[in-house]
Every structure is written in C-alpha cells, then in structure tokens.
C-alpha cells in the first residue's frame, strides 16, 4: 500500500545519521520485523523511491521510525525535512525475520542495526544483541536497544568501545555465554557471510538481511535479483530482504 506519511520528528543521532519518526497508521499497523518501505522524497528531483528499513513501530500511535545515513542526494534531502512535512511511503515490503525464535542473538554492523531494532522491539526482552561499528560514535544504538534486549555485546574496529575487532571476532565468546536458538544478522556482506559460516558450524539457524540496489521494490523490475545456492533467481525486494543464510551464502 502507499500512504502519505507526516514527519513527526527528526533528529541527528550521530554525525550524518538521522532518526525520523513518521505518522503512517496503515503501515505501522501491519509492519513485521525486518520489513522495509520505499520512500518517495518530494523535495529535490528524485524519480526513484529510496528503500529504508522500519526500525521501531508504534501501532497504537500509528507511527514508525527509520534510521538512515546520508550517502547521496536522496538521504540528504530526507534529512532536511522537519515536523509536519510529508513523504509518500510504499510498504511494508518484503519478508522479514522469522519470529518463532525464543532467545535469538541479533548481530548488527553499522546501519544494519536499524531493521534488527524492530525485531528486538517486537520480541521485547527475548533477544541479546551483538553490535559492531568502526568506533564508539557508530554505536549510538545502545540507548535505543536498551529497553528491549537482555544482554548487549559491543565491539569496535578501533577498540574505542567494547572489545577491539569485528563481530566475527567475539561471536565465538558470546556463544559460550548463552544458548541461542537463532542468529539474525544485518550488516556488511562480508560480516554476514562470516557469521553465517560460524553459526552453521555451531548448528544454530541463521537468517541474514540483504541489501541490493532497488527500483520498484515490488518484484517487477528485476533490478535486485540474486542467485540462490540452489540455482534459482530470487528478488531481494519481494523474496527477501531476509533469507535463511544457506539459501544465499554457499
Ligand atoms: C531493503 C533495504 C533497506 C535499507 N535500509 C536502510 C536503512 O534502514 N538505513 C539506511 O541508512 N540505509 C538503508 N538502505 C540503503 C539505502 O536505501 C540507501 O543508502 C539510499 O537509497 C541511498 O539513497 P541516496 O539518494 O542518498 O544515495 P544515491 O547514491 O544518490 O542513490 C542513487 C540511487 O541508488 C540507490 N541506492 C544507493 N545506495 C543504495 C543501497 N545501499 N541500497 C539500495 N539502493 C541504493 C538509491 O535508492 C537511488 O535510487 C537500505 C537498502 C535496502 C535495499
Ligand atoms: S526492486 Fe524491482 S524487482 Fe526488486
């Protein structure tokens, strides 16, 4: 469905990273963790919509939030919007994360922590989170996750917060501290591949959320097609963005 959404709040939560709250009751009512929206931005000259993950949902208030990093003209124009301005939002789109896990470990790197937040919120109190970033500044996410998760594990490339290294570096230690029935990952592909391999070795089901350049977001234009491990073609916008790791990583 498409909906005219009103900007309720917008704040810069880290350098170049924004949290936008939208009033969009129809989408907020039905969105599932890990789904995304395609946003039409009216300021500027943007023909294509921009795909952004749904991060937090408040169906009672009819609102959801998105976190995004400025990388080009669309996200820059988005960051200029203020309370009361409007966007057109298409969604909720795609298949999100499986919700049947009882105590999953969420693993996010960079902006990959955005769609995982919707899962932590929906499964309030059930998840642990392992978050990775380049430096302490990138791990502003802690306060947003705090109300929803049990344990938080932090790692930064430069060691400025938590342990030094990547999420793949401390994943084995985290696995020794608890028993997880699923691992849900979103972040750079190299990180997701590494985690997926280690989760498979540990015998834990793993889902990954992929990112591909998109145009229609509806499965019609094929611009987001990928090859799966069983030799089929799938569309990230419609069949994903969340896949079982073994479907997409050999
Ligand atoms: C399913 C999905 C969910 C996403 N969720 C988030 C999120 O929650 N937060 C966030 O910061 N970013 C997210 N992204 C990436 C985000 O869509 C791009 O950063 C954004 O579209 C860039 O737009 P731009 O105009 O600023 O950049 P430009 O580079 O000027 O964009 C030019 C074109 O390329 C497309 N494009 C550029 N980068 C990407 C990309 N990485 N993925 C897909 N299309 C791209 C744009 O949509 C646009 O059509 C997501 C991408 C996908 C596919
Ligand atoms: S974006 Fe058109 S098919 Fe996926």
Determine the pLDDT at residue 225: 97
**Domain co-membership, 52 together with 124:** no
Torsion, Cα of 166, 13, 217, 227 (10° steps): 0
For residue 155, report the distance from its CA to the centre of ligand 2, in Å. Answer: 34
Determine the pLDDT at residue 118: 97
221: annotated binding-site residue?
yes
* Mean of pLDDT values over 137-143: 96
* pLDDT above 90 for 249: yes
99 part of a folded domain: no
Q: Which of 238, 209, 208 is nearest to 222 (CA)?
A: 238
Sequence-ordered alpha helix ranges (H) in the chain: 25-30, 73-79, 113-122, 142-145, 167-177, 189-202, 245-248
**Domain co-membership, 30 together with 70:** yes
Determine the pLDDT at residue 250: 87
**Domain co-membership, 236 together with 129:** yes
Determine the pLDDT at residue 34: 98
Of all residues in the chain, what percent carry a pLDDT higher than 90? 98
State CA 223 to chain mean position distance: 20
Distance CA 145, CA 201 (A): 28
Q: Is the CB of 188 under 6 A from ligand 2?
A: no
84 part of a folded domain: yes
For residue 108, report the distance from its CA to the centre of ligand 1, in Å. Answer: 17
Q: Is the CB of 65 under 6 A from ligand 1?
A: no
pLDDT in tens, 111-127: 999 999 999 999 999 99
* pLDDT above 90 for 215: yes
**Exposed e or buried b for every residue in 233-248, given b needs 16+ CB within 10 A?**
ebbbbbbbbbbebbbb
Among 72, 93, 114, the domain-final residue is 93
**Domain co-membership, 124 together with 89:** no
Determine the pLDDT at residue 240: 97
186: annotated binding-site residue?
no
Among 45, 64, 93, the domain-final residue is 93
Q: Which of 49, 170, 73, 155 is nearest to 110 (CA)?
A: 155
Of all residues in the chain, what percent carry a pLDDT higher than 70? 100
Residue with tokens 């129809």: 26
152 part of a folded domain: yes
Q: Which of 93, 95, 112 is nearest to 216 (CA)?
A: 93
Q: Which two tokens stand for residue 134?
A: 């380049």
Among 48, 71, 93, the domain-final residue is 93
**Structural domain span for residue 204:** 104-248
Which phi and psi angles does 196 have, rounded to 5°? -60, -40
Closest residue CA from atom 42 of ligand 1: 213
**Domain co-membership, 115 together with 139:** yes
**Domain co-membership, 14 together with 123:** no
Q: Record the pTM.
A: 0.96
**Domain co-membership, 89 together with 144:** no
pLDDT in tens, 163-190: 999 999 999 999 999 999 999 999 999 9
**Domain co-membership, 232 together with 124:** yes
**CA angle, corner 193, sides to 187 and 198, nearest 5?**
115
* Mean of pLDDT values over 127-131: 98
Q: Is the CB of 118 under 6 A from ligand 1?
A: no
Query: Which residue among 71, 95, 118 has the greatest number of ligand 1 atoms within 8 angstroms of its CB, and so is best to mutate?
Result: 71
Determine the pLDDT at residue 44: 84
Query: Which residue among 19, 35, 79, 211 has the greatest number of ligand 1 atoms within 8 angstroms of its CB, and so is best to mutate?
Result: 211
Determine the pLDDT at residue 126: 97
Ligand closest to CA 93: 1
Determine the pLDDT at residue 45: 87
Measuring CA to CA, how many Å separate 111 from each of 132, 147, 176, 178?
10, 19, 26, 26
Ligand closest to CA 239: 2
> What is the pLDDT confidence band of residue 193, given thresholds at 50, 70 and 90?
very high
Measuring CA to CA, how many Å separate 117 from each of 162, 177, 218?
19, 22, 24
**Domain co-membership, 110 together with 230:** yes
pLDDT in tens, 40-97: 999 888 999 999 999 999 999 999 999 999 999 999 999 999 999 999 999 999 999 9
**Domain co-membership, 23 together with 146:** no
Q: Is the CB of 32 under 6 A from ligand 2?
A: no
Count of domains observed in the chain = 2
Ligand closest to CA 50: 1
**Domain co-membership, 69 together with 178:** no
């Amino acid at each position: 469905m498409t909906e005219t959404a009103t900007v309720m709040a917008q704040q810069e939560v880290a350098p170049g990273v924004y949290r936008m709250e939208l009033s969009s009751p129809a989408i907020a009512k039905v969105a599932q963790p890990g789904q995304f929206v395609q946003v039409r931005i009216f300021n500027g000259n943007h023909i294509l919509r921009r795909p952004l993950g749904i991060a937090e949902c408040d169906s009672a208030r009819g609102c959801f939030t998105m976190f995004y990093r400025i990388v080009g003209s669309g996200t820059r124009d988005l960051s200029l919007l203020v309370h009361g301005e409007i966007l057109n939002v298409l969604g909720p789109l795609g298949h999100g994360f499986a919700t049947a896990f009882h105590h999953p470990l969420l693993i996010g790197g960079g902006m990959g922590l955005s769609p995982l937040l919707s899962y932590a919120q929906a499964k309030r109190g059930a998840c642990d989170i392992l978050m990775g970033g380049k430096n302490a500044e990138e791990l502003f996410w802690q306060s947003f996750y705090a109300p929803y998760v049990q344990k938080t594990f932090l790692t930064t490339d430069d060691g400025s917060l938590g342990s030094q290294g990547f999420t793949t570096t401390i994943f084995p230690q985290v696995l020794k501290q608890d028993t997880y029935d699923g691992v849900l990952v979103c972040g750079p592909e190299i990180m997701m591949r590494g985690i997926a391999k280690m989760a498979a070795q540990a015998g834990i089901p793993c889902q990954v959320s992929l990112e591909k350049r998109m145009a229609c977001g509806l499965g019609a234009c094929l611009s987001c097609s990928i090859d799966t491990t069983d030799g089929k073609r799938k569309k990230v916008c419609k069949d994903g963005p969340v896949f079982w790791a073994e479907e997409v990583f050999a």
